[in-house]
Amino acid sequence: MAAKWALITGASEGLGVEFARLAAAEGRDLILVARQAAKLEALAAELRDRHKVAVEVWPTDLADAAEVETLWRKLALRRHVEIVVNNAGLGYNGPFAGDDIGREMASVAVNVTALTILTKRAASHMTRQGGGRILNVGSTAGFMPGPNMAVYHATKAYVLSLSEAVAEELRGSPVTVTVLCPGATATNFARDAKMEGIALFRLMPPAGAAAVAKAGWGAMKRGRRIRVTGLMNSTFAFAPRLVPRALVTRISALFLK
């Protein structure tokens, strides 16, 4: 049980790659999870070479809850997992009343179910081990309903609520839970979610992935509960407390068209 490991989900692309780089730069041994094994292997080779850390690649489909449970059981069996970054996530921009439900259900499975399993397993493992840090990647989407991205916004509201509640349960213990809430960030997320043409991405220049990950990583290490990145995003997160909810939803719809 000597080595202490950091588990990072969604490490094949975007923010996950940056979280992995931050962890490796601190000399941490890493477990990288996503579906695209070749990308995980390429990142693992980079990190082993540059930082001389141990990196294991665990290709996993996080949309499959049984695979998530198996992943955790196998990796935590003989390892002390000190950090878990629940970063993997996906969204979809389009009318809710369409016929295709596959992508929306995948986002519930990854953003909600897999994150819940790993947060729960990690919280009890870390409590037994005497400490640890959990970083859940939410979104400013979690602060308001999202017409045309109804399921994604709902999943991120869940991530925010779950993370705050568990952090409160663990208050005063050596296990902390942090939720990072970025706004538009320059990764493949917007392209894959069919969001590139919407007002949010046209009007607001996306933040760099490295800077967003660094802000989240720092907040996690300080044990902060919530980190919203960027002044404009902080305004988006705070304003719904002052405005009637129906109006918040109307305004949100304008940004998601």
Instruction: Write out the catalytic residue numbers.
Output: 152, 156
Q: Minimum distance between the CB of residue 168 and ligand NAP, rounded to whole angstroms?
A: 22
Query: Of residues 8, 30, 31, 63, which one binds ligand NAP by CB under 6 A?
Result: 63
- Work out how close the CB of 235 gets to ligand NAP at its nearest, in angstroms, rounded to a whole number: 15
Out of 190, 228, 237, 256, which residue is the one contacting ligand NAP (CB under 6 A)? 190
Residue choice 22, 24, 62, 83 for contact with ligand NAP (CB under 6 A): 62
Residue 16 sits in the site that holds ligand NAP (CB under 6 A): yes
Type and span of the H or E element at 58: strand 55-59
Contact segment (CB under 6 A) with ligand NAP among 74-82, 119-127, 164-172, 185-193 equals 185-193
The residue (of 46 and 192) whose beta carbon lies closer to ligand NAP is 192
Min dist CB 142 to ligand NAP, Å, is 9
How far apart are alpha carbons 79 and 64 in whole angstroms?
A: 23
Beta pairing partners, 226: 179
Please, which of residues 19-48 interact with ligand NAP by CB under 6 A? 34-36
Query: Applying CB under 6 A, does 146 fall inside the site for ligand NAP?
Result: no
Are 104 and 151 a contacting pair, CB within 8 Å? yes
Report the C-alpha gap between 181 and 112 in whole angstroms.
15
Q: CB of residue 141 vs ligand NAP: minimum separation in angstroms?
A: 7
First vs last C-alpha separation in the chain: 51
> Among residues 62 and 175, whose Cβ is nearest to ligand NAP?
62
Least Å distance between CB 184 and ligand NAP?
5
Q: Is the Cβ–Cβ distance between 76 and 126 less than 8 Å?
A: no
How far is Cα 87 from Cα 156, in angstroms, rounded to an integer? 12
Asked whether position 70 contacts ligand NAP by CB under 6 A, the answer is no
Which long-range contacts link 156-165 to residues 24+ away (Cβ below 8 Å)?
156/111, 156/181, 158/111, 158/112, 159/86, 159/111, 159/112, 159/115, 160/226, 162/115, 162/116, 162/119, 162/136, 163/119, 163/134, 163/136, 163/138, 163/225, 163/226, 164/225, 164/226
Binding piece for ligand NAP, criterion CB under 6 A, among 6-14, 124-132, 169-177, 244-252: 6-14
Q: Interface with ligand NAP includes 160 (CB under 6 A)?
A: no
Chain positions contacting ligand NAP, by CB under 6 A:
10, 12-16, 34-36, 60-63, 87-91, 110, 137, 139, 182, 184-185, 187-190, 192
